[in-house]
Amino acid sequence: MNFELVAVLMFASMLAMLLTGRHIFAVIGGVASAFALILWGKGGAGLAFHASFNLLNWYPLLTLPMFIYMGYMFSKSGIADDLYTMFHVWMGPINGGLAIGTIGLMSIIAAMNGLSVAGMAIGATLALPEMLKRKYDKIMLTGVIQAGSSLGIMIPPSVVLVLYGMIARQPIGRLWLAGVFPGLMLAGLFILYILGRCLIQPHLGPALSKEERRIPLKKKLLLLRSGIVPLFIIFMMSGLFFLGITSLVEASAVGATVTTLAAVFNKRLTRKGMVEVLRDTLSVSCMFMWVILAALAFGAIFDGLGAVHAIKGLFLEYGFGPWGIIIMMQLSYLLMGTFLDDTAMLIIVAPLYVPLVIELGFDPIWYGVLYTITCQIAYLTPPFGYNLFLMRAMSPKEITLSDIYRSIVPFVIVMVIGLVVVMMFPKIALWLPSLYYGK
């Protein structure tokens, strides 16, 4: 059988079975196992386990449970509460200020965590109720929280870039540094959007009332202290890593430990809270890992079929130029990302695309950043996005599913603009790593 036919059959049967609501890992793994048997008979039977055992070669994956733990611990530590108060007081007086403050808060959280979960949890439980109380437009702020939390996978540390780095065999340090400016740029674009929108329609984000604004300057300045702990955590984790003192996996363990200590010193950590953190960490780690295991088996089939050459042939056959190919790749990611689990998509598709990207003469570090922005968009877009599960589970009752769907539209547009800008000006991503590590 030729590759195109197998690929289409595999994706089609996977999609059909995903729609039944069966667990994603089971569908991906089941389809992979079935096709391994069909294609290679008895020899294909061992593929699923073999692929999952290969996961042990990917030692940077150790950062995944560490970052998940850190995210949950962070949301329990009370550090975010103080930070939120700071942004609330400082940004509140302008129209849309609380939404802008939330983007700021999310950026700082993103610099302390490699996933979006922590930002989403803190945004939905802390910022959302406060903004609703102050008559912010619920659709706008639902979008703010989802878009803001997606920065978690762009601003270093980033688990998505770790996964990409393993697949593309690129140094994680460079990838993380490459994510700094695109991440900040996206945060800036979100803020610009909020500012502009609230300038035209001030009722969407009313400024704080006079009474609420009357806070002595001294108190305001003291609030800035809440930034010290995050800076310390960022230094201990990313700082020591970029200085070359700790290795990648060590840095994640240091980060997890420092966050735990911060929670203990804040006196926020109860026995019950600790058990919750451990349980949620186990549950989410297992979810990701079982999906990754299954996706590895799925990818192994493509590998066995020589899919890299087939994809190359496919793209060249239709006469796309190098840029045409890059654009087609991003479009295909966006399309698949709406239906597929982002992690699974990365593991299945990235190994096919990355060799071609390198062969076309593009920088794989830059491509990693493009990929991550696409992932952020995929993470937001329905019908499948983790944000939908999280938002529905965490947000107050008055936020309906259709609010969640509608809220993302402007932010997705902003992110697509960001994607295009980084495509046109690769320096935005590549300047910092080449400054720090040299060419």
Partner 1 sequence: MKNAVKAYVHAIDSTSRATGKLVMFMVFGMMGILLYESISRTIFNKPHIWAVEFSQFVMAAYYTLGGAYSYLIEGQVRMDIFYHKWSPKRKATMDVITFSILAFYLVILLHGAYKGITYAIEYKQVSYSAWSPVLYPIKIIMTIGIVMMMLQAIAEFFKDLARARGEDIPKEEIEVEESK
User: At a CB cut-off of 8 Å and minimum separation 6, what does 434 contact?
Assistant: none
Comparing CB distances to partner 1, the nearer of 274 and 360 is 274
Supply the minimum distance, in Å, between the C-beta of residue 175 and partner 1: 20
Q: Give the residue, chosen from 6, 7, 10, 18, that forms a contact with partner 1 under the rule CB under 8 A.
A: 18
Q: What distance in Å separates the CA atoms of residue 97 and residue 81, rounded to the nearest whole number? A: 17
Residue 51 CA to residue 35 CA, distance in Å, equals 14
* Torsion angle, alpha carbons of 242, 248, 253, 256, to 10: 60
Residues between 167 and 226 with contacts to partner 1, criterion CB under 8 A? none
Among positions 27-46, residues that touch partner 1 (CB under 8 A) are: 27, 29-31, 33-34, 36-37, 45-46
Q: Which residue, chain included where needed, has tokens 């202290």?
A: 225
Q: How far is the CB of 65 from partner 1 (least distance, A)?
A: 6
Q: Which of 250, 268, 410, 426 binds partner 1 (CB under 8 A)?
A: 250
Burial class (CB in 10 A: 0-12, 13-18, 19+), 164: buried
Q: Which of 1, 12, 19, 420 touches partner 1 (CB under 8 A)?
A: 19
Of positions 287, 310, 328, 412, contacts partner 1 by CB under 8 A? 287
Cβ of residue 255: shortest distance to partner 1, in angstroms?
10
40/431 with CB nearer partner 1: 40
Q: Tell me: does residue 284 bind partner 1 (CB under 8 A).
A: yes
Select from 76, 138, 103 the least CA-distant residue to 397: 138
Handedness of CA 391, 392, 398, 402 (dihedral sign): positive
CA distance 65 to 324: 37
397 part of the interface to partner 1, by CB under 8 A: no
Cβ atoms within 10 Å of 401's Cβ, excluding its own: 11
**Nearest-angstrom CA–CA distance, 180 and 307:** 33
Assess contact for 123 and 161: CB atoms under 8 A. no
Interacting residue with partner 1 among 382, 396, 406, 437 (CB under 8 A): 382
Q: Report DSSP state, residue 215.
A: -
Instruction: For residue 49, state whether it binds partner 1 (rule: CB under 8 A).
Output: yes
Binding of partner 1 at residue 66 (CB under 8 A)? yes
The number of residues that bind partner 1 (CB under 8 A) is: 68
Binding of partner 1 by 307 (CB under 8 A): no
Q: Which residues bind partner 1 (CB under 8 A)?
A: 17-27, 29-31, 33-34, 36-37, 45-50, 52-53, 55-56, 59, 61-62, 65-66, 69, 245-247, 249-250, 252-254, 256-257, 271-272, 275-276, 278-279, 281-287, 289-291, 294, 339, 341, 382-384, 386, 389
